[in-house]
Amino acid sequence: MSESSSPPFASEKALKRLRRRRAADRRFKWYGRLAIGFALSALALLLASIATQAVSAASYHVVAFDLDVDRETFGNVTPDALPPVDEVYRRVHEDLLARFPEAIDDPAKRHALNGLITRLAVLPEARAIVRDRRAVGAVRHVRLPLSDDLDLYLKGAIARHLTVPVGRVDAVQDVETGTISLTGEGAFTRLLTATSLEGVPSPGMLGGGSVLLSAGLSTLKASSLDSSGASGTLLTGTLQDFRTHPVRAQLILAPESERPVTDQQIAWLLALKADGRIARVPHWSLLTHTDSTQPELAGALAAIVGSLLTLLVTAALAIPVGILASIYLEEFAPRNRVTGLIEVNINNLAAVPSIVFGLLGAAVFLGAFGLPRSAPVVGGLVLALLILPVVIIASRSALKSVPQSVRDAALAIGASRMQTVFHHVLPLAAPGMLTGAILGMARALGETAPLLLIGMVAFVAEVPRSPTDEATALPVLIYSWATQAERAWEPMTGAVILILLTFLIAMNIVVVFLRRQFERR
């Protein structure tokens, strides 16, 4: 319908109107595209932001130590004794003090040094010493997780910083105790450019970021800086290192008062790193540890087991009951008022907010029946009631899709109605029913609100062993980690979400696979 071939009666006005209508038509199509684009980009943004966090938490920094497990201190450790956490931690502390003697006489620095590794970080090692008698009397090579803030600093997630190579300097002088100056013609030009580009105020100014100069295992904090010289206080190490090693500068953009890591701690980190004692390793403890107050030590194991136990109870109840209920409604129920009521009721129940099921669980299971709080058995019961309508609706549609001829054939050769259903209809509907059951379980795995109301939000440090033990679940763990104040919990939360999504994706893959198989028949 090009305009040249338009009939002669088409006036200019009519053609204009037609163009307007066609433009409206194209716009309308674009609204649809925009809507889909918006929804998909929201999905992409959501998944990307979680993946970024999860990737950051997938590895973490550990510090290597040689622990001398001597007989005097650890000789009398028996397998049923409490793990010697304090003794092991003292070894770690002494090791660090020997490495950084500047902290020996300064209580504030000692405290900062202790901040490198938290006390609880040695618990697995202490347990290993209790468990393994051969460990006593030998030197253990252990790797302990670095404290969360320092780990985030090394990952670049907090206190943005950058490293600028300076090279060798010509002269190193000890101005007064602890204060040294470095001089080299033009050696600091590049560093000066970088500081002005990054907007770091000149060193020593109040409220500015910091410039740390390090060489070998030593680091100083610059207090003045120009193109041919710098001076500042020695944070750790010796003067000698600056003569023998090339100098590198670390620019930290945030002022010291606005970040959780101090310049002194960063200096120690740089020394440990130069010493080759810090390594970035896969964060397996996320899967093998239970919850902890320290982000670097926390793991999701208890929550994973708790979720599995809860789902076990849910599956044991909701799947058989849901399938049997759907068989009754589809194959046996007379069409009367009661059946109609049950049907409306099931459709409505599927849309009742999940938190209302939590209220039911709190009032009836905990209040009236006195079942234990925080237990997977109660969580499983509540979730079973919650997904029952989902399972029933899916199973009914699976039964509906079985051809009537199958039933007629069975009945014609004298099978009873029960035999028809269980011997002939059910096997054909089974894949569809299974699909519905898995989708229901996936819904149950992601539910949080009802579990909060029945107390499954408690801090659980032990892996639950039975459905009546205290437990928490994966989504609840996500909730409690996401609402913690410390920054380090964000990547951890992202990682746990990834674990949860992996389970959900696995379930959905099974569903897709089943559907394919089913449709092929």
Question: Interaction with another protein in 475-504: which residues (CB under 8 A)?
Answer: 475-476, 478-479, 482-483, 490, 493-494, 497, 500-501, 504
Q: In which residue are the tokens 């449709």 written?
A: 519
User: For residue 224, what are the β-bridge partners?
Assistant: 231
Classify residue 473 by its DSSP letter.
-
What secondary structure does DSSP assign to 475-509, as a single string?
Answer: HHHHHHHHT-SSTTHHHHHHHHHHHHHHHHHHHHH
Query: Can you tell me which of 14, 38, 462, 506 binds another protein, judged by CB under 8 A?
Result: 38
Contact flag: residue 1 with another protein (CB under 8 A): no
Phi, psi of 166 (to 5 degrees): -110, -35
Query: Can you tell me which of 389, 432, 436, 440 binds another protein, judged by CB under 8 A?
Result: 389
Q: How far is Cα 84 from Cα 95, in angstroms, rounded to an integer? A: 17
Q: For another protein, which stretch binds (CB under 8 A), given 171-179, 287-295, 407-415, 473-481? A: 473-481
Q: For another protein, which stretch binds (CB under 8 A), given 6-14, 131-139, 159-167, 359-367? A: 359-367
What x-and-dash track marks residues 279-318 binding another protein by CB under 8 A?
A: ----------------------------------------
Query: Can you tell me which of 69, 385, 398, 434 binds another protein, judged by CB under 8 A?
Result: 385
Contact flag: residue 364 with another protein (CB under 8 A): yes
Q: For another protein, which stretch binds (CB under 8 A), given 46-54, 125-133, 243-251, 428-436? A: 46-54
- Shortest separation between residue 9's beta carbon and another protein, angstroms: 14
Task: Report CA-CA distances (Å) from 388 to 298, 346, 370, 476.
Answer: 34, 9, 23, 21
Closest to another protein by CB, 131 vs 400, is 400
- Shortest separation between residue 309's beta carbon and another protein, angstroms: 14
- Shortest separation between residue 243's beta carbon and another protein, angstroms: 47
Bridge-based pairing state of the strands 229-236 and 218-226: antiparallel
Indicate the burial class of 397 (C-beta count within 10 angstroms; 0-12, 13-18, 19 or more).
middle
Name residues contacting another protein, limited to 79-98 (CB under 8 A). Answer: none
- Shortest separation between residue 418's beta carbon and another protein, angstroms: 4
Question: In the structure encoding, which two tokens stand for residue 115, read together?
Answer: 């901040």
- Shortest separation between residue 436's beta carbon and another protein, angstroms: 14
- Shortest separation between residue 372's beta carbon and another protein, angstroms: 9
Name residues contacting another protein, limited to 198-217 (CB under 8 A). Answer: none
Contact flag: residue 513 with another protein (CB under 8 A): no
Maximal C-alpha separation, the chain: 111
Q: For another protein, which stretch binds (CB under 8 A), given 3-11, 69-77, 130-138, 369-377? A: 369-377
What x-and-dash track marks residues 397-416 binding another protein by CB under 8 A?
A: -------------------x
Closest to another protein by CB, 205 vs 341, is 341
Contact flag: residue 437 with another protein (CB under 8 A): no
- Shortest separation between residue 482's beta carbon and another protein, angstroms: 5
SS3 content of the chain, % helix, strand, coil (to 5): 60, 15, 25
Contact flag: residue 453 with another protein (CB under 8 A): yes
Closest to another protein by CB, 56 vs 181, is 56
Closest to another protein by CB, 276 vs 370, is 370
Question: In the structure encoding, which two tokens stand for residue 460, read together?
Answer: 């659980």
- Shortest separation between residue 42's beta carbon and another protein, angstroms: 5
Contact flag: residue 196 with another protein (CB under 8 A): no
Query: Can you tell me which of 16, 17, 19, 22 binds another protein, judged by CB under 8 A?
Result: 22
Q: Residue 173 in 3-state DSSP?
A: strand
Closest to another protein by CB, 29 vs 400, is 29
Nearest to 395 by CA among 442, 325, 483, 302: 325
Contact flag: residue 36 with another protein (CB under 8 A): yes
Query: Can you tell me which of 39, 205, 316, 409 binds another protein, judged by CB under 8 A?
Result: 39
- SS3 for 175-243 is EECCEEEEECCCCCHHHHHHHHHHCCCCCCCCCCCEEEEEECCEEEEEEEEECCEEEEEEEECCCHHHH
Nearest to 253 by CA among 108, 179, 153, 115: 153
Phi, psi of 244 (to 5 degrees): -100, -20
Contact flag: residue 15 with another protein (CB under 8 A): no
Q: How far is Cα 223 from Cα 204, in angstroms, rounded to an integer? A: 5
Instruction: Please count the residues of this chain forming the interface with another protein, following the rule CB under 8 A.
Output: 92
Q: How far is Cα 135 from Cα 132, in angstroms, rounded to an integer? A: 6
- SS3 for 230-270 is EEEEEEECCCHHHHHCCEEEEEECCCHHHCCCCHHHHHHHH
What x-and-dash track marks residues 319-358 binding another protein by CB under 8 A?
A: -xxx-xx-xxx--xx-------xx-xxxxxx-xxxxxxxx
Q: How far is Cα 184 from Cα 23, in angstroms, rounded to an integer? A: 70
- Shortest separation between residue 404's beta carbon and another protein, angstroms: 18
Contact flag: residue 263 with another protein (CB under 8 A): no
The neighbour count for residue 418, using CB atoms within 10 Å, is: 11
Q: How far is Cα 267 from Cα 109, in angstroms, rounded to an integer? A: 12
Residues in the chain, total: 521
Contact flag: residue 160 with another protein (CB under 8 A): no
Nearest to 86 by CA among 121, 110, 115: 121
Closest to another protein by CB, 229 vs 494, is 494
